[in-house]
Amino acid sequence: MENEEILQEEEESILTLTDENGEDMNFEYLDCIEYEGTEYLVLMPEESNEIVILEIQPVDEENENYVAVENEDILDAVYGIFKERYKDVLEFED
């Protein structure tokens, strides 16, 4: 029973997103961070050690879009919050 719970938790942390070319990519969900009134997803591509930060843009009550953040100041701020939250759990390379 305990192994099933662990497997379920691992499965829940994987998000499959479709890019603009219609291709599916798997990401590990790391966190959702609010910064200046906007929420951002912090993800890690399944086959990479890099962090991806996407802005959450609500479409309606049930749907939302995820958009790449291009503003370096916002990326740095959200990543800084993420690093502070997980400084005792993860190792970061700068």
Contact (CB, 8 A) for 66 and 56: yes
Q: What angle do CA 29, 30, 33 make, to 5 degrees?
A: 110
Q: What does the angle CA 32 – CA 49 – CA 47 come to, to the nearest 5 degrees?
A: 100
Strand, coil or helix: what is 68?
A: strand
- What pLDDT score does 61 carry? 86
Q: Looking at residues 45-57, what average pLDDT do you find?
A: 91
CB 53, CB 75: distance < 8 Å: yes
Q: What is the mean pLDDT of residues 20-39?
A: 93
pTM: 0.79
- Residue 51 to residue 81: CA distance in whole angstroms: 13
pLDDT 10s digits, 67-88: 999 999 999 999 999 999 988 8
Burial of 53 (0-12, 13-18, 19+ CB in 10 A): buried
In the predicted structure, residue 2 carries a pLDDT above the cut 50: no
